Structure 1
Amino acid sequence: MDHSQTKQQKPVAPIAFDNSYARLPAHFHAAAVPTPVSEPWLIKFNRPLAEELGLDADALERDGAAIFSGNVIPEGAEPLGMAYAGHQFGQFVPLLGDGRAILLGEVIDSNGKRRDIQLKGAGKTPYSRRGDGRAALGPVLREYIVSEAMFALGIPATRALAAVVTGEPVYRERVLPGGVITRVAASHIRVGTFQFLAARGDTDGLKVLADYVIDRHYPDIKGHERPYLALVEAAIERQASLIARWLCVGFIHGVMNTDNCAISGETIDFGPCAFLDAYDPAKVFSSIDRGGRYAYASQPAIGQWNMARFAETLLPLLDAEASEAVNLANDAIAGYGARFQAHWLAGMKAKIGLQTEEDGDLDLVQGLLNAMHRNEADFTLTFRRLCDAAEGSAGDGPLRELFANAADIDAWLSAWRERTGREPLSDAQTAAAMRTVNPAFIPRNHRIEQAIRAAEDDGDFSLFEALNDVLAKPYEDQPKFAAYAAPPQPSEEVLKTFCGT
């Protein structure tokens, strides 16, 4: 790694900022200047994303350590921390805000979409309270790996533009190397952003924010007879779709607080997140989720709960009559379950090769999940090997090996083949379609931990690089990387993941 880039004092990479959030009322945010670090160096730069954002990728690759560490503020940036509140594990906190994240500004990408560019771990903000505003290298690497993997899986998520080592320690349970991640998002507006204003009785501010969100994220509902009700319904639709996609790849967010629920419908904040190995609907990895509030199968209900909190903030805008506003909000929230179920069932049917609709399809899907749970079968491998079984019974062997009681999966396979026999596609076509929705590779928890340990303990980023390369093509077999598809050995299993703050 070329450390000479740390000497760069004046970046030559112009960024065409257009900072609309900074133009919102002053109490929505606070100026927050990154704290310089001693010896930053760029360990990862997402060149394709930079090009998509319309940035000078060559200049950033050469000089980016200074910008992505926060040592140099690019011309046109207006660094700020965003104010927000939030329910944290069900308990409302009226003021949280960006304690270790600084929004540099916004750009218009090559598709005409407005995108935030934010530094995470770049020092204290007015919302840091007793925190140091810094991030350890491990959480930076985890967010980079998982956010980019989610993008490759086709799931809406914030992106990672760059990762930097600061050259300075951070102090947690032990001394760790510091890092900064540059995060890109459709926006960083959360349910908690609305809660911050609602908690202060700021109805005018809520209207300004709601109008801004409609303009930025939901322009199709402009001119709607009830635009704020339409906003609630549109946000519900995106959350229901997003969480259904999480479940279809075995993703557990780990900390679905309302301040981690993006109004844009993107996955945001990859702290104690993890992916299922053995299928268990009650599985929890997060060390701070002691009651299982955000367990794998609890996520759909929490999504509805979060959307109910969002709707509450907009009650003054839904109708002048309070009781009518509550009725409108309740009706919208009541529709969440059907929306989620439709998205989830469609996703799961695609995973088992079904395109048409029959009454027993839900039972067939649930039957497989039940068999997987009883046998502690690996979630990702089960569905990937089912793709081979779709081509004929000769492919059943590797699938059966995942089940302690092979008779359990044999009985299901018999019912499944009877059902798929009524599908219009050939076996080969069905298998090919299934391989586009059943990944061969996910960010296995033990692989992430191995990459973090090597980087933190030895300064070795080769495992981090290799893991990113593999996960960029999750639906391809990649035989030379077959080991990355394997679940952990007992000694490698990750039982707990940590927030990293």
Structure 2
Amino acid sequence: MKLVARYTQIADDFAVPDFPSAVAAPKLLLWNDVLAQQLNIDVASAERAQVFAGNLNSSNVAPVALGYSGHQFGHFSPRLGDGRAHLLGAVADQQQQLWDIQLKGAGATPFSRGGDGRCAIGPAVREYIMSEAMHALGVPTTRCLAVVASGETVYRQPPQPGAIVTRVARSHIRVGSFQYLASQGDVAGLQALADLAIARHYPEINTTGPERYLAFLAKVVEKQIALVVSWMRVGFIHGVMNTDNTLISGETIDYGPCAMMNQFDFDTVFSSIDRQGRYAFGNQPNIANWNCARLAESLIPLISDDEEQAVALLSPLINGFSEQFNHAFSQMWAQKLGLDGEQAGDKELVSELLGLLKTHKLDYTNSFDALTESLQGSVAIPSELAAWSIKWLTRTNIDSYPTMRQANPKLIPRNHIIEAILKDFTHQHQSPILNEYLHALQQPFQSPVKESWTLAPEDDENYQTFCGT
């Protein structure tokens, strides 16, 4: 595995050299062979557990822990950083694109703030399953290469077996990365980071001066809108949309307290730490807008020495978020319902449908799947939607089927099945249903082998997810 150093030239204390802490008895639990081939990772089978536990480093590149700030539930922490993650470096894929390779749960770092730097096996397996499912659903996301059991106990409540998960990302540049440098007044570091981000993610930006960084913000806004719209298309609730969990690439990162929505309700919250519903399903667009505003604040020194002038130039990009989002959101509903073009009354049609889904506590995924298949006569429209469907059918036809089928999955990673798999791994380091379930999740728009995988509990209102730390 040929590694390239990343981020080490940005600023002092941004990428801090730090080696993973060795674990007692590493054992490879999950290995993403397809992803490994795409990234040209040729680590021998016998060495994978040692390498991706952090026990073996045969590269000339020194692992680093990255510094970043973050607004966590609205409260700013100037120094967070990778408290339990080590970036090994980057590898080039078959198209020579670089991808970060990071070990999560590989031990304490200078940013640990007293934590043990470890990860329990449940959250590691959850990230693997969820990120691969999201990728198959067409949602921009980080990926997982491996999960390795550490052979050690992680002291949570209750104590659990430990594991290390290998995360792959186009970069680990977060909104919080810019906040970190801005809070230190490091303008040179800010510019270096912005230029790196542009080169990595937005090479089409070829302007200079303030226009370069205004264009950068505009691209990030565009990517965040696309990301959140894709989340809402499939019913994903991130659960912890802090600025340190917001990648400027527009990819999903951190699958800690995430969950999938079963019964439709914009107010759905599963995260045990989100007591006020800040990151509820329907509030995700507002938070994405808010996070982009925090990035804009960090970029002020790159726009103008006159703060008032900089704010005047940045504000239109942030203020335009809602209009851009609403347009993309409307297009999403049009795809999910197979609407051709835009006509008067479409918004009311969508609003009425969502009201019926909520009132009758209908399953989000299965309802749209039923509407999709009804166009071919293979599935009946739910009785609760029968009257509404008369109006809908005047706006769609059999030709809409391919569009709807691409937008509406038949299979999502159901919360109760994920929990059953995680319980298996916690107690016996494997699950009898995992391989078959993962295979099905890779084909979410096809009917799965087991129809039971498409069913949700009648009432999951009491379901809760928890942060892995």
Length-normalised TM-score, structure 2? 0.97
Name the structure 1 match of 2:446: 476
Determine the C-alpha separation between the residues in 1 that align with 2:461 and 2:421: 14
**1:182 partner SS:** strand
Name the structure 2 match of 1:403: none
Name the structure 2 match of 1:413: 389
| Among candidates 102, 127, 134, match of residue 118 of structure 2 | 134
| Among candidates 436, 440, 450, match of residue 420 of structure 2 | 450
Name the structure 2 match of 1:430: 400
**2:52 partner SS:** helix
Name the structure 1 match of 2:149: 165
**1:395 partner SS:** coil
Determine the C-alpha separation between the residues in 2 that align with 1:342 and 1:315: 28
Letter in 2 for 1:499: C
Determine the C-alpha separation between the residues in 1 that align with 2:61 and 2:134: 28
More helix, by proportion: 1
**2:164 partner SS:** strand
Is residue 388 of structure 1 aligned with residue 373 of structure 2?
yes
Determine the C-alpha separation between the residues in 1 that align with 2:33 and 2:429: 22
Determine the C-alpha separation between the residues in 2 that align with 1:23 and 1:322: 27
Determine the C-alpha separation between the residues in 2 that align with 1:351 and 1:127: 43
Name the structure 2 match of 1:152: 136
Determine the C-alpha separation between the residues in 1 that align with 2:107 and 2:143: 20
2:178 and 2:295 in contact (8 A); partners too? yes
Shift in Å at residue 488 of structure 1? 2.0
Shift in Å at residue 152 of structure 1? 0.4
Shift in Å at residue 430 of structure 1? 2.1
2:29 and 2:430 in contact (8 A); partners too? no
Shift in Å at residue 114 of structure 1? 1.4
Name the structure 2 match of 1:67: 51
**Unaligned stretches of 5+ residues in structure 1:** 1-14, 401-405, 422-426
Name the structure 2 match of 1:23: 9
2:353 and 2:388 in contact (8 A); partners too? yes
Determine the C-alpha separation between the residues in 2 that align with 1:217 and 1:78: 24
Aligned residue pairs, count: 468
Name the structure 1 match of 2:74: 90
1:155 and 1:245 in contact (8 A); partners too? yes
**Unaligned stretches of 5+ residues in structure 2:** none
1:18 and 1:105 in contact (8 A); partners too? yes
2:357 and 2:364 in contact (8 A); partners too? yes
Moved more, 354-363 or 260-269: 354-363
2:40 and 2:94 in contact (8 A); partners too? yes
**1:270 partner SS:** coil
Shift in Å at residue 358 of structure 1? 1.4
Determine the C-alpha separation between the residues in 2 that align with 1:106 and 1:458: 33
CA offsets, 1:227-248, max 9 Å, x none?
0111111100000111011011
Shift in Å at residue 224 of structure 1? 4.9
Moved more, 261-270 or 430-439: 430-439
Shift in Å at residue 336 of structure 1? 0.8
CA offsets, 1:89-128, max 9 Å, x none?
0000000000011100011211222110000001011101
Name the structure 2 match of 1:38: 24
1:161 and 1:184 in contact (8 A); partners too? yes
Pairing of 1:250-329 with structure 2 (within 5 A): 250-329=235-314
1:245 and 1:344 in contact (8 A); partners too? no
| Among candidates 318, 336, 339, match of residue 324 of structure 2 | 339
Moved more, 138-147 or 27-36: 27-36
Name the structure 2 match of 1:358: 343
Shift in Å at residue 16 of structure 1? 1.5
Name the structure 1 match of 2:166: 182
Q: Write out the 4+ residue segments of structure 1 that deviate beyond 3 Å after TM superposition.
A: 59-62
Length-normalised TM-score, structure 1? 0.91
**1:133 partner SS:** coil
CA offsets, 1:54-103, max 9 Å, x none?
111xx443420011111101313320100000000000000000001110
1:241 and 1:339 in contact (8 A); partners too? no
Identity %: 44
CA offsets, 1:449-484, max 9 Å, x none?
000011112333223323212211111112x22211
Is residue 203 of structure 1 aligned with residue 192 of structure 2?
no
Determine the C-alpha separation between the residues in 2 that align with 1:266 and 1:140: 18
Determine the C-alpha separation between the residues in 2 that align with 1:186 and 1:418: 43
Shift in Å at residue 222 of structure 1? 2.4
Letter in 1 for 2:35: L
Shift in Å at residue 418 of structure 1? 1.1
2:10 and 2:189 in contact (8 A); partners too? no
